[in-house]
Amino acid sequence: MSNLVSIAKAPSQRLPRNERISKIVAVTRAMLNEMGYENILTLEVAQRCGVSEATIYKYFDSKRDLLIRVAEQWFEELLAEDQRNLKQSSARDALRHVVWRSLMLVRREPALTRFVLLDLRPDPSYRSMAVFELNRHFTSRVTDVIKQGMKSGELGTAVPLPLLRDMIFGCIEHQTWAFLRGEGDFSVDDATEGIVRVIYNGVALKANQTSTPDASPTIDRLEKLADRLEKLAPAQTEKKPQRTRLTRES
């Protein structure tokens, strides 16, 4: 009997610090998928982890700080997966892959996507966060693919890289916005094919056309017109408020 009593009263084994933090982050991520970031309570996170709520605040300053760590871990996983992916046979296949993957990530992690888009990105301190740099590295995969297409001659060079990147991620966000609000759905495959088709129909050129001086006469005319308008109204240009970009990191 004394042995049974001593076993029953024996304290549970404490996890090492890193393992405990990993468990808290993993449980929080699972709860995100269940109920959304707005409805998570640190007390419930603690209960599911088998620790006190004070333990949560021992490692994280706030619930938001905990959710930011979840988002950081998400991007770290995505970047690690990118390192393991094999190169595609063509720029078009590579673009199709990165667009499809971005759309599929939204479908698989809608709560995390909403947290990054709606809570973190509007934050004035967002650019100083680690998650900003991680996100920037993730989105740069699209730029790398476009550069590959320009180098191989599959894509023309008339449209600036940042604009093409904005167009792609702008399309992705618009295609998935109703889904993220819980008001609709989208087809990952159909959206992928549509976005890739628009990009290639708009900027694909034969290799011998990409370096010709008159490959982008329309762009040149628009740039000259913009210069003239800027000279006519410099004061208005200086006072024009900057628009918040929700489609890319720079």
108 versus 17: the higher-pLDDT residue is: 108
C-alpha span between 105 and 76 (Å, rounded): 14
Residue 56 has pLDDT above 90, yes or no: yes
User: pTM (2 decimals)?
Assistant: 0.71
Residue 63 has pLDDT above 60, yes or no: yes
What average pLDDT is seen over the chain? 79
Please report, rounded to a whole number, the percentage of residues in the chain having pLDDT higher than 90.
48
Domains, the chain: 10-60 (1.10.10.60), 70-208 (1.10.357.10)
Residue 242 has pLDDT above 50, yes or no: no
232 versus 73: the higher-pLDDT residue is: 73
Band the pLDDT of 39: cuts 50, 70, 90. Answer: very high
Tens-place pLDDT, residues 152-170: 888 888 888 888 899 999 9
